[in-house]
Structure formats: structure tokens, C-alpha cells
Structure 1
């Protein structure tokens, strides 16, 4: 390589810079000139590049975070709080990104937004887009419910707005059977949105407040973090699905901002590019890190075990606490606190951390694809978790070595040049798997892109369940649902009253009742059914009032609700009063894995206790005792399950006929 000899002017400027650096070492580079533009020449500033100190324990922290998330997704019962690994990622990202910005500004006197975003794209895009393209092609080939909404998933993920796309389409992160194949990209979207906005804000702050280079940026980051946590607190509604506040950039950015605040507090503002990025200038601070960091680790591990995703505390301070604990652990690792340094510097933890990005990208689509192919009802999901775990590690290693590293270290052009230069000759094709596999790369790219196009163009917006429900809705509206003879009612020797028959029954409900409408017609031929998708109790009251006002409300009323939320305070009593005390009412006890289900079941049972004319149809116990009766979403019944749903109503009518009432259920309330 040619040797460049600096000019006399450049040598003089360099000596002046060295003298300035030596003068600033005494206070760790934190003085009155902190963050002021150094006096180096333009040429020296252009070629100088601040680098962050290598801290092996930071890789280990990433390893802990990704391990928690993988265990949560594969074996949720083992680590109910494993989702908190994402918050650790947020704290790390906010800390490291802000540290880079602080060091760049101090060393060069400016922040190159172009260079920053190019580095981020090199780091994230190659692996993220590769996984997205390959998995979209595979999902499109598999089809079925797994491919529902793949168009929106692909485009939302490609443009890093996956979190808002899922919020807009009412997807849930906490309903086990409804998570999309690219749901995990939500956190990457939040980070990318942060990477777009934060450098602009921090660069502006550094320029405007040179006199107080630390104080104002720290205050801004802390205030924004507090605002984000407060927004999560107030937007979250107990008993409802928390996906909106969990996915929202506005309500879940506090982890990134807390990491940024920690960086602004401890990152060096020394103008020397070789200066320690996180100097330990105060003994008291080092001692505090040694004490607090291990305690924070213990508290974080306790959260992983005990802080489930359905607790009100989780969204009203719990996640904020997780981020603070993550910042304390990060502080301890940077300050070489024991035993954190030993734990997170081990080979296994560092290996996991270095491959955490690729492991995070691959693990969720992999388990979703395996379950879709071999276990659509998730009866043995943990078995596929055991299968997916080593496969995820293998794919992460391949992705890390051959996608992440080449693009991150050399950029797009060099990565492509290196790949093209490695093309083998005809003779070399006889030796080595790597040489033989080389021509498969363009074929894989073409096939994947073709699969993406096919998947995006042919994507269905409705699951098989939704299509079946639409067909049942049309049959109910047309009155063409078959209605065979009713089964003979059960009779006993004791005093009884006649069992209500189909023409005496009005049934009003949600999609679970709609999915069971044929079975209800079989057991109660001639009943009137008004059931629809995504219905809440709110919709039932005007329906009852309309039927009653036109004289069409029959003597016995079936109500099947709760799947889409518990009743609002006083709403169930209002509905019962609207039907009237002279009619027999049967309320379905709902089944599902939603957070509000225990409350929804409890209010149904309480209504039966409070009103003499109200009985319960314990659908929940029927479903819970045999989940194979349910479709893949774990909520709606298959054909056999629909018969059990109708049977639950028949049992309730038998109680009415026998002057009996049972208000117990085997389900949690």
C-alpha cells in the first residue's frame, strides 16, 4: 500500500491535538470544552473516527435477552416473562447508538447522519430482508391460514412499520394462536423508527446547547422516557388485549430512551478518538455499579419468572422497571462489576449475543412453519420447540457468518465483489460443499423473490375459519340451514316442565355461536339465530330491543358472548332486564386464552346466581376438557366441538326443565 507522508501543517495540527488530549485526560475529557469542536484540521477530523471500547459482557447481555425471548416463544410456560428480553435489547440499542453519536460529535465536531444511517442499513437490512424474503416464499408455498395477510406483513416489515401494521389490523401478540409469522419484527420496527428520529434530535441538541452538553440532552431523554411510560400507563385498559401499548413506538420507546440517558451520563466527551468511551472517573460511581448491578440482575431474573404478560402491573410500571434494571445491569457490565462480567463474558453467552440478531430473526418464523406443516392444532407445540431450537442456532450461525459479517464489515459493494470473486471454475466444483453450493445462491434468490411475488399477489385476507363463518352467516341469513328432527328430551320421574323447543328459542351471539349454528339447528330445529363475527355484549342490547318491539323475541333466549371482551360494568344486567324476567335466558360461559376470559366467565356465573330466570351453558368446561374439538386458533369449535357447544345449551335447558340450576364451572374465574 502507498505510504502517505503528512505535510508540515498537518503534523503541526496533530501535535496540537495530542497536547489538547493530554491536557484533558485528568478529568476524563469532561470539562468546559466538552462536546466543543476540536482544533484538528479538517483533514484530520475527516479521517478520525471514534470507536467504542470493546466490552465482551455486552455480547453476553444480548445473549441473555435473546435466550429469554426464544424460551418464551418456544416454551412459554417455562419462562412466562421471557418477552422482557426485548426490553433489554431496547436498552442496549439506545445506549450503544447514543454512545456512538456522542463520541462522533466530540471527536469530529459533527454527526454525519448519512454515515450513521448507512451503517445501520449495513447492520440490519441484509439479514432482516433475507429472512423476510425466504420465509415469505416458504409461507406462500405452504398457504392456508399461515399465509393469511402475508401481503400486509411483508410490506409492513419491509418498510419497518410492522408494529403499526399489526396494530392497524388488530393483531394480538398475546393470543397464542393468532400471532403472525413476522410478528417478532415489531421490535425491529420500533428500533428503526428510533434510529431515524433520535440522531436528528440529539444532533440538534448538541449543536444548540454546547454550553451544557450533558445536562439538557439527559433531561430531554429522561422526560421523553417518562412520557412514553405514562402513555403506556393511561392508554392500557385492564382486562383488554395490551397489544396496542406493547407494539406502539410512542408507548414502548422508554427502554431505548433510558439506554440513551445512561449513555449521555457515562460516555466520554474526550476529543481524542482513542479515549476510553466509558471512563471510570469517579470511584463512588464504580462502587455503586458493583453493588447495584448484581441486585438488578437478580430482580430482572425474578421478572422473567414471575412477571407474566397479563398482569396490570406489567403495563403500569413493570416494563419501565425492567428497562431501569437493564440500564443498571448495562452500567455494571461497562464498569466491570462482578459477577456480571464473569457471567456475561463466558463463551456461550458471547456466542449467543453475537448471533442474537440472526437468532431473533429466524426462530419465530421457523417454529410457525413447523407447526403449520406438522401440528396445526398445536397439540405438541413444545416438541416442535425442541426441534426448532437447534435449527434456529444453525440458521443463526449461517446468517451471522455469511450475511451479517460480510455486509457489516465491508458494505454492500465489497460483499458482492467478494462473493463474485469467489466464483469457482469447472474443476473447483468437484471440491468442497461451499464451492458446489455457490451456484445455488442466485437460484435461491430468484426462487425466493418469485415466492414473494406469488405470496403478495395471491395473499388471502381471510383465514379458513373466517371463510367458513361467512358461509354459515349466509346460510343463516337465507334460512337454508338444515334442521333435522330434534333429539328426544331427557325426562326424569320427578316434577318437570316442558323443554323449550327450537321455534321457542332466539339465539344471539358472536363468532363462536356462528361457528356452531349448524349444530344448534340440529339440536333445536327451528330456532332463530343472529350471530356474527367480532360481536360484544354491546351489540346484543339493540338486537334484543328490536326483536322485542316487533314481537319476534321468543320465550327462551340463548346468549353467546365473551369471546371479544367481558361486559362493561352493569351491561349484563341491562341486557337481562331488556329481555325481561318472563323469559328464560341461557348464557354461554366463554372459552379462550384472552386476558379478560376469567372475568367474562365470572360475570356470567354471577348473573345466573343473581337472576332466577338465568342459566349457564358451560361451553368452557366442554372446550377445556378436549381442546382437539377446537380449530387452530384455540377458540372456535370444529364440527365435533360445535356439537358440544350446542350440547352445553341443551344441558342448561334440562336444568330449567328439572327445576335445577348449576352455576359451577371447571374453568378459572
Structure 2
């Protein structure tokens, strides 16, 4: 496991900023140049890595994991901003100010983190407000949070710590095989493999693998040798870029997510253990970290705004700018009025 001395792990806020900037740029009309899906994959990987790291720290200090407190922390972190956005968006849609449809079924599906399967299998009529489709990724993360802490605790109690990376790696292979089966044998559409938890959750598991890798002092010294460091960072970066260059649909919906998970492992490892290195130094710049801190609220608001500002002025770039400014202001208010007070409560639950 990558060990750090503080709950604020170096470079992670910077990675959040990278992810939200990729997603927002793609949604703002640059989708042909900026792969928004990569931003979501980075979010998934980061969540898996961070949650596993914090749970392992808790187990190391208390010899257990308080599952109830974990769920309460997640509830207090994720649900208040989501509920605020949903109430505002559905209310404005019901009044005819925002586009789309406002139904209780759609509202409850998104509030209770069922948005991805609801959109895939139960919402052929598109009964949700425009711009709320991005909430599918929240469902994937919440499904992961639902089962992973208990499974991790069970494995740790059975003295399976050293085997955790192996088990997680096997699980990633199973999810890859499942995607290949759905695409190559069943012939499902790209939406099925892109949005569903059972075909995307392995992007989080790769982050879990990184967090559970054991590191002896000897192994750590080898990984920190300058030559290996350069090779690993270059290999991770080139592999990640290669997944964006290959455009074949079958590749994109089968092995792409797996390769991206593997590519992110050395990049995250060295950005956390060596944040002073040139490729990662900028991830820890204050204003970059600030974007990362606001990233969740920006993610919730930006696509809703982008879908509802096109008629405000005759100038599309100005409309996009207004949508992003409103999203930023919303994120600032959420951080100051909601998340900052709740951080104190969440800290007491650690």
C-alpha cells in the first residue's frame, strides 16, 4: 500500500481537477478532441484507490472497519449536494424553465443511485431532465461502496491481506471477460457496457489493487530507482494515450477500460509518492487543488447547465462560459455552506 502521513493524500485533488476538466471540456463541445469517458475512468480509479487506502488505515489502527460509519460518511459527502441539484433541476423542469421531463420515478431513481440501470432498462421514454444523465457514474460508485467495505473487512479478518491484490486482479479479469462476452457474443450496444455497474466497476478495482499492493522497504527502494521510475511513468502515459488513439468500437467497449486501469497505476503511484516530480508537481498547485475540491459539485451541475443555456444569448461560446461560471459558483457555495460543516461531522465518524 502507498503510505502517507496525512488523510490528504498528495496529488489526489489534482487528479480530481484533471478528471473534471476533461469531462467538462468534452461536454462543452470538445468531445471529438477531449475524451470525456477518460475523465470518468480517472474518477473511478481515484475513488477505488482512496476508499481502500482509508479503510486499510482504519483497520491498521483499530483492527476493524466500522461499516456503519463508512456508510454515514459517504451519505453525508455525496447526498446533500446531489439532493440540492435534483430538487432544483426537477423543480425548474416541472415549471418548464429547464428542458426534459420531471417524474417522481426518475427523481427517485437518481436520488437512490439507480440512474444507470434505470436509464438502460426502464426509461425508454427519457423521463428525466436534460443534463442529469451524467448521474449514472454516481450509481456505479455507490454500488461499489455498498459491497466493498464488507468484503474487504472479511478478507482482512481471514488473514488474506497478502492475497488481496490477486483476488482483485482476478475480479478485474472476470469483468473483462463479461464485457467481451456481452460485446462479442450477445452483441449489446455501447451504452450497455459504458453505463452499467457490472461492466464498469473494475475501473474502481484497479485503484483498489494499487492501494493493496504490499511494499517492503526493499521493494519500495527498487520502485524509486530513477531509471525504473522514468520507465514506469513513460509506459503508463504511453499506454493511456494508446487507448485513446485506437478508435474501434469493439476495442473501446472491451479492453479499453482494463488497459486504462493498468496505465493509471504507475501514474497514480508516483504522483502520490513523488509529488515533487515535474510531471506531477502541478497537480499540487493551490488553484488546481481547489478545482479538485469543487469537482464533485461541478460534476453535478455543469451538464445540467450546459443543456439549458443554449438560448440565453445568440453566442454559443458565451452560453457555455455562463454555464461553467454558474457551475463554479454553485460548487463554491456548496463547499462553504454544506460540505465544510459536514466535514467536521464526517471527521468524527472516522
Q: Compared with structure 1, are the counterparts of its residues 51 and 104 closer, same or farther at alpha carbon in structure 2 (3 Å cutoff)?
A: farther
Match of residue 178 from structure 2: 231
Distance 2:291 2:218 in 1: 28
Residues 56 and 350 in structure 1, CA contact (< 8 A), matched pair in contact too: no
Deviation at 1:412, TM superposition (A): 12
Partner of 1:620: none
Q: Structure 2 CA distance, aligned partners of 1:172 and 1:255?
A: 30
Contact 1:162–1:186 (8 Å) recurs in 2:
yes
Quickly say closer, same or farther: Cα 1:123–1:51, change in 2 above 3 A: farther
Q: Which has the larger radius of gyration?
A: 1
Report the counterpart of residue 197 of structure 1 in structure 2: 147
The root-mean-square deviation of aligned C-alpha atoms, in Å, is: 3.2
Question: Aligned to 1:157, which of 110, 115, 137?
Answer: 110
Instruction: State the partner residue of 1:296.
Output: 236
In structure 2, C-alpha distance between the alignment counterparts of 1:350 and 1:113, rounded to whole Å: 29
Q: Matched residues in 2 for 1:54 and 1:281: separation?
A: 24
Do the aligned partners of residues 52 and 254 (structure 1) sit closer, same or farther apart at CA in structure 2, a change above 3 Å counting?
Answer: farther
Could you say what secondary structure the match of 1:75 adopts? helix
Partner residue, 1:360: 299
Instruction: Look up the match of 2:332.
Output: 397
- 1:68 is matched with which residue? 22
SS at match of 1:184: helix
Deviation at 1:89, TM superposition (A): 0.7
Offset, 1:307? 5.6
**Among 94, 101, 115, which residue is 2:48 paired with?**
94
Query: 200, 205, 218: which is aligned to 1:257?
Result: 205
TM-score, L = length of structure 1: 0.47
The residue number in structure 2 matching 1:348 is: 287
Note the alpha carbon deviations across 1:194-247, whole angstroms, 9 max, x for none. Answer: 001001111111112x1x4221x2222111111112212221269863111111
Aligned residue runs from structure 1 range 456-605, under 5 A: none
- Does the CA contact (< 8 Å) of 1:258 and 1:324 recur in 2? yes
Distance 2:2 2:250 in 1: 44
Q: Is the 8 A contact 1:290 1:332 kept in 2?
A: no
Q: Deviations over 1:449-481 (max 9, x none)?
A: xxxxxxxxxxxxxxxxxxxxxxxxxxxxxxxxx
Are positions 1:285 and 2:223 aligned together?
yes
Cα distance in 1 for partners of 2:264, 2:156 equals 26
* Worse overlay, 289-298 or 67-76: 289-298
Contact 1:153 1:182 in 2 (8 A): no
Please list, as runs of the form range in 1=range in 2, the aligned pairs for 1:139-158 lying within 5 A after superposition. Answer: 139-142=93-96, 146-148=99-101, 150-158=103-111
Distance (whole Å) between structure 2 residues aligned to residue 248 and residue 157 of structure 1:
14
Residue 83 of structure 2 is matched in structure 1 by 129
Go from structure 1 to structure 2 and tell me whether the alpha carbon gap of 1:267 and 1:380 turns closer, same or farther (over 3 Å shift): farther
Taking structure 2 as the reference length, the TM-score comes to: 0.87
Q: How does 1:391-430 map to 2 (within 5 A)?
A: 391-410=326-345
The 10-residue stretch of structure 1 (107-116 or 283-292) with the greater mean CA deviation from structure 2: 283-292
1:331 to 269, 276, 290: 269
- Native 8 Å contact 2:14 2:292 kept in 1: yes
Equivalent in the alignment of 1:597: none
Question: Higher mean Cα deviation, 224-233 or 73-82?
Answer: 73-82
Between the aligned partners of 2:60 and 2:15, the Cα distance in structure 1 is: 27
Paired with 1:408 and 1:395, the residues of 2 have a C-alpha distance of 18
Question: For the Cα contact (< 8 Å) 2:179–2:193, is it kept in 1?
Answer: yes
Instruction: State how far apart, in whole Å, the 2-side matches of 1:319 and 1:204 are.
Output: 27
For residues 403-457 of structure 1, what are the alpha-carbon distances to aligned partners after superposition, in whole Å with 9 as ceiling and x for unaligned?
22221223599xxxxxxxxxxxxxxxxxxxxxxxxxxxxxxxxxxxxxxxxxxxx
Gaps of 5+ in 2: none
The number of residues matched between the two structures is 343
Matched residues in 2 for 1:361 and 1:90: separation? Answer: 15
CA displacement, residues 601-653 of structure 1 (integer Å, 9 cap, x when unaligned) = xxxxxxxxxxxxxxxxxxxxxxxxxxxxxxxxxxxxxxxxxxxxxxxxxxxxx
Which has the bigger relative contact order, CA under 8 A and spacing at least 6? 2
1:169 aligns with 2:122: yes
Partner-residue secondary structure (3-state), 2:118? helix
Confirm or deny: 8 A CA contact 2:48 2:207 kept in the other structure: yes
Partner of 1:245: 193
**Contact 2:93-2:101 within 8 A present in 1 as well:** no
Q: Runs of 4 or more off by more than 6 Å in structure 1? A: none
Q: Check conservation: 2:2, 2:211, Cα contact below 8 A.
A: no
Q: 1:125 to 1:412 in 2, by over 3 A?
A: farther
The answer as to whether partners of 1:71 and 1:79 remain within 8 angstroms in 2 is no
